[in-house]
Amino acid sequence: MALERVRAEVLESGTLLRLVLDRPAGNILTSGLMEQLGRELAAHESDKALRMVVLQGAGGHFSYGASVEEHRKPSAPGMLRGLSRLVRAIARYPVPVAALVEGRCLGGGFELVLACHLLFVTADAQLGCPEIKLGVFPPVLAALGPSRLGGALSDRLVLTGETINGAEARACALATGLLDGRDPFAQLLDWYRKGLSRMSAAALRTAVLAVRKGAEPLLGARLDELEALYVQRVLESHDGNEGIEAFIARRAPVWRDA
């Protein structure tokens, strides 16, 4: 089992929290790693001076996505609940959460990014959800995608499993900033120092609450409905289970269209 941890750093006189996913290789989102991230977020949500949280992946990639092994039928419902719980914690966080994305940002990793308030990417980053290629679908993308990406792009990503690069994410206004790849965190830190660091932390908390009010239906009943659809339809289908097993076995899936 790979060593997994979330590295937490409190920076800028307590106004910035940096959380780094560190699970070689690819920062796979196991239930354990997601629980660690949730605990770190909860530990700092009442910090009065906090103005921004940065989520980042170690090793040049944000995350390859949620654990494929945990997509198997016995563990999938718990994995889905854990991912949804973390997505809600990020989306409802009292101060802005910014994702810094380099390399691959796939599946559950991309779904975490969709819940963030801000996104900074390198041009060669790859963002998307390949779940359809495994015979399943991404519930969080289906719930949040239309509001965060626009309906047409969201439908395309869910139905094709395609990815977009960092430049495309900036062009469609998903990304706040495009970084050049040379010490991207330093560039993000410069952006922070020129902007949010000078804001009132109290004002930021009120503004975050205001801008996310409209997302509550998506984070509540809509996400619950899509989790139930996954459990009732995907986990009970041949192809949903076959795609996962084929991926783990590194073979081509044999679809029955059922």
Q: Evaluate whether 164 touches 178 at the Cβ level (below 8 Å).
A: no
Look up tokens 């101060």; give the residue.
Answer: 95
Give, in degrees to the nearest 5, the angle at Cα 175 between 172 and 176: 120
- pLDDT given at position 217: 87
**Domain residues of the chain, as ranges?**
5-180
Q: What is the mean pLDDT of residues 15-22?
A: 98
Q: At what angle do helices 76-91 and 31-44 cross, to 10 degrees?
A: 20
Between 78 and 1, residue with greater pLDDT? 78
pLDDT score of 47 more than 90: yes
Measured distance between the N- and C-terminal CA atoms of the chain, rounded to whole angstroms: 34
pLDDT score of 228 more than 70: yes
CATH of domain 5-180: 3.90.226.10
Per-residue confidence band for 215, with pLDDT thresholds at 50, 70 and 90: confident
Prediction pTM value = 0.96
pLDDT score of 1 more than 70: no
- pLDDT given at position 182: 87
Q: What is the mean pLDDT of residues 228-257?
A: 98
DSSP codes, 196-236: GGGS-HHHHHHHHHHHHGGGHHIIIIIHHHHHHHIIIIITT
Task: Of 73, 79, 152, give the one whose Cα is nearest residue 111.
Answer: 79
pLDDT tens digits for range 59-111: 999 999 999 999 999 999 999 999 999 999 999 999 999 999 999 999 999 99
Per-residue confidence band for 2, with pLDDT thresholds at 50, 70 and 90: low
Q: Which residues pair with 16 in a beta bridge?
A: 11, 52
Q: At what angle do helices 139-149 and 76-91 cross, to 10 degrees?
A: 30
Mean pLDDT computed over every residue of the chain: 96
pLDDT tens digits for range 122-174: 999 999 999 999 999 999 999 999 999 999 999 999 999 999 999 999 999 99
